[in-house]
Amino acid sequence: MKQRILTGVMAGLFFFIFLMLGGYWYSGLILLLSIIGYDEFARMNDMKKHRWTSAIGLAAMLLIAIPWETNSFFLNLDLTAVIWIAMFVLLFITVSSKNAITIDQISVLWLGAVYIGMGFHYMMSIRITDHGLFWSIFIFICIWASDSGAYFVGSKLGKHPLWPQISPKKSIEGAIGGIIFSVIAALIFAGFVPELLTYARAILLGFVIAIVGQLGDLIQSAYKRVKGIKDSGKLLPGHGGVLDRVDSWLIVFPFLFWLGLIPH
C-alpha cells in the first residue's frame, strides 16, 4: 500500500507539472503514454511477435492521437480522414501478407488504435481549447475523486457486488461513493470559478464523469479478465501499466467532447 501511494503521488505530481506547462511538453508526455499503452495492448493480444504489423498499428494509433485539426501542429487534417487512412493501411496488410496476418488480428490492432488513439487525442484537444487548462484539471480531478471515493467507500461499506463477473471487488456502495466524491469535487470547482462553471452544470458533469469513468474502468477489467491477466503492464509499481491507470481517461475525454459537455 505504501508503495502504491508513493508511486501514485509522484506520478501525479509529474503529470500535473507537464499539464501546467501545456504545449509540446504536455502533448509529448501524452503521446509517450499512448505509445506505451499501445505496446501493452499489442502484448496483451500476442501481437508483438508480428513486429512490423504491430509497428504499423502503432503508427495508425499515433495518427489518430495527434490533434491534427488544431493550429498547434503543422498540418490541418480532418480526423475522420486520418481514421480512414489508418484503417485502409491496416486492412491492406491482410492483402500484402497474403493472409499471414489475418483480418481478426488486424481488427484487434485497429480497435486498439481507435480506443487508445481517440482517448489521448481528446486529452490534448481539450487542453489547447479556450480555458483548456481549467477544463483538463477539472476532468482529471473529478476522475480521481471518483476513483478515490469508489475505493474508500467500497472498502469500508461495500456489501453488494456491482458486477462480480467482471470485477469482483467493486461494489454498488463504492460506485455511489465515487459519484458523490466526483460531484463534490465538481462543486468545489464551481465555487472557485463560477464564471466558467455553474453549480447545476457542475453536478451534471460530476455525475457524468463518475458514471462514464467507472464504465471505462469496467471495460478494461472485462478485457483483462478475458486475457487472464491482472495488469496491462508493470511500468508503475503497485499500479500496473499505463492502460491500468488511464482506462477512465480514454473514455471520459472523448465522451465529454463529443456530447458538447465541455466548451470547445
Question: pLDDT tens-digit profile of 161-184?
Answer: 888 888 878 899 999 999 999 999
Mean pLDDT calculated for residue range 91-97: 89
Residue 71, pLDDT above cutoff 60: no
Tens digit of each residue's pLDDT (9 = 90 or more) over 15-69: 999 999 998 999 999 999 999 999 999 888 888 777 788 888 899 999 899 887 6
Q: Poorest-confidence range of 56-60, 206-210, 211-215?
A: 56-60
Residue type, 126: I
Other beta carbons within 10 Å of 129:
16
Alpha helices, DSSP H only, in the chain?
Answer: 2-21, 23-44, 51-65, 79-96, 103-127, 132-157, 172-192, 199-227, 242-258
Quick one: pLDDT at residue 239? Answer: 63
Which grid coordinates belong to 166? 467482471
Distance CA 56, CA 36 (A): 15
Q: What pLDDT band is residue 79 in, cutting at 50, 70 and 90?
A: confident
Contacts of residue 156, Cβ cutoff 8 Å, sequence gap at least 6 = none
Tens digit of each residue's pLDDT (9 = 90 or more) over 185-206: 999 999 999 999 999 999 999 9
Tens digit of each residue's pLDDT (9 = 90 or more) over 112-159: 999 999 999 999 999 998 899 999 999 999 999 999 999 999 988 978
Q: Report CA-CA distances (Å) from 152 to 156, 171, 173, 176, 177.
A: 6, 11, 10, 11, 8
Distance CA 228, CA 47 (A): 16
